[in-house]
Structure 1
Amino acid sequence: MAGRFGGYRRGRIYGRLDCPSALRHIARGNYVRHRVFFADETTAVAAGYRPCSVCLPHRHRVWRKEEPS
């Protein structure tokens, strides 16, 4: 099964595969070496990744509220 979400290992961020921000970085040659894929969001969160603020704004806001100060 192909992954439904992509992530950036260095930033510990995950998002949709069609995320405009990630696609811009990839087009510039960034992210590619540090790209990871997840089957679902549960797996990404369990791996310690946070939601992207561009393509998953609602989930990112929830994550920010849950993040310890």
Structure 2
Amino acid sequence: MAPCSADPSGPTLFGTRTWTLMGPDGQSYASATPGALGGHRRGRIYGQLNCRSALQAIVRGGYVPQRVFFADEATAIAAGYRPCAVCMPQAYANWQAKHP
């Protein structure tokens, strides 16, 4: 499976940009709008695009190839990802209470 990317794939036939997002089935698809949430494929974690923890991991290297993007939280959850404890502490606490 090709990695998902928030980077636009460039012009399409009609001159519009597309972004690669992950769907609820875990498969990548092209979208006319960028993702609202980012995630890490191997860790199966999703969070805000400006998450301090994710940005630090990107700087350290090795994180970007595992980066995925979601249109919304419901899609990330349906794809089997959990909320980030750093940037989404309340959603993480709710998830943790349901998954002891």
TM-score band, normalised by shorter chain: over 0.9
Select the structure with the greater relative contact order (CA < 8 A; seq sep ≥ 6).
Answer: 1
Aligned twin of 2:86: 54
Shift of 1:30: 2.6
RMSD: 0.7
Stretches of structure 2 lacking an aligned partner (at least 5 in a row):
1-32
Aligned twin of 1:16: 48
TM norm structure 2:
0.66
TM norm structure 1:
0.95
Structure showing the higher helix proportion among its residues: 1
| Secondary structure in structure 2 of the residue aligned to 1:2 | coil
Distance in 2, matches of 1:16 and 1:54, equals 10
| Secondary structure in structure 1 of the residue aligned to 2:54 | helix
Distance in 2, matches of 1:38 and 1:20, equals 18
Q: How many equivalent residue pairs?
A: 68
What letter corresponds to residue 60 of structure 1 in structure 2?
A: Y
Distance in 1, matches of 2:62 and 2:35, equals 20
Stretches of structure 1 lacking an aligned partner (at least 5 in a row):
none
